[in-house]
Amino acid sequence: MNRNTAALFCLALRFLICEGANPCCSEPCQNRGVCTAMASDTYECDCTRTGFYGPNCTTPEFLTRLKLTLKPSPNTVHHLLTHFKGFWNIVNSISFLRDAIMRYVLTSRSHMIDSPPTYNSDYDYKNWEAYSNLSYYTRSLPPVPKECPTPMGVAGKKELPDAKILAEKLLLRREFIPDPQGTSLMFAFFAQHFTHQFFKSDMKKGPAFTLAKGHGVDLNHVYGDNLERQHKLRLFKDGKLKHQILDGEMYPPTVKEVGVEMHYPPFVPESDRFAVGHEAFGLVPGLMMYATIWLREHNRVCDVLKEIHPNWDDERLFQTTRLILIGETIKIVIEDYVQHLSGYNFKLKFDPELLFNQRFQYQNRIASEFNTLYHWHPLMPDSFHIEEEDYSYKQFVFNNSVVTKHGISNLVESFSKQIAGRVAGGRNVPGAVMHVAIKSVENSRKMRYQSLNAYRKRFSMKPYSSFEDLTGEKEMAAVLEEMYGHVDAVELYPGLLVEKPRTDAIFGETMVEMGAPYSLKGLMGNPICSPEYWKPSTFGGSVGFDIINTASLQKLVCNNVRGPCPVASFYVPDIKDTGSMIINSSTSNSRSSDVNPTLILKKRTTEL
Which H or E run contains 21? none
Ramachandran bin of 215, using left for φ above 0, alpha for ψ from -120 to 50, beta for the remaining angles: left
Burial class (CB in 10 A: 0-12, 13-18, 19+), 103: middle
How many whole angstroms separate alpha carbon 372 and alpha carbon 440? 7
**Contact 225/215 with Cβ under 8 angstroms?**
no
Distance of alpha carbon 251 from its chain centroid, rounded?
27
CA distance 581 to 572: 11
Chain centre distance of CA 75: 21
Assess whether 374 carries a catalytic annotation.
yes
CB 257 within 8 A of CB 234: no
Closest CA to 415 of 553, 252, 508, 592: 553
User: Which DSSP string do the residues of 51-100 spell out, in sequence order?
Assistant: TEETTTT-EEPHHHHHHHHHPPPHHHHHHHHHS-HHHHHHHHHSHHHHHH
Q: Which amino acid is at 529?
A: C
To the query of whether residue 196 is one of the catalytic residues in this protein, the response is: yes
Report CA-CA distances (Å) from 366 to 120, 248, 359. 11, 40, 20
Three-state SS for 463-511 is CCCCHHHHHCCCHHHHHHHHHHCCHHHCEHHHHHHHCCECCCCCCEHHH
Helices (H), 312-431: 314-332, 339-342, 368-373, 393-396, 401-417
Whether residue 28 is preceded by a cis peptide bond, meaning omega within 30 degrees of 0, is: no
Query: From CA 438, how far away is CA 162, in angstroms rounded?
Result: 10
The dihedral region occupied by 230, where left means phi > 0, alpha psi between -120 and 50, and beta the remainder, is: alpha
CA of residue 55 relative to chain centroid, distance: 37
CA pair distance 471, 530, nearest whole angstrom: 41
264, 374, 455, 484: which is the annotated catalytic residue?
374
From 196, 221, 377, 406, active-site residue: 196
Catalytic positions are 196, 374
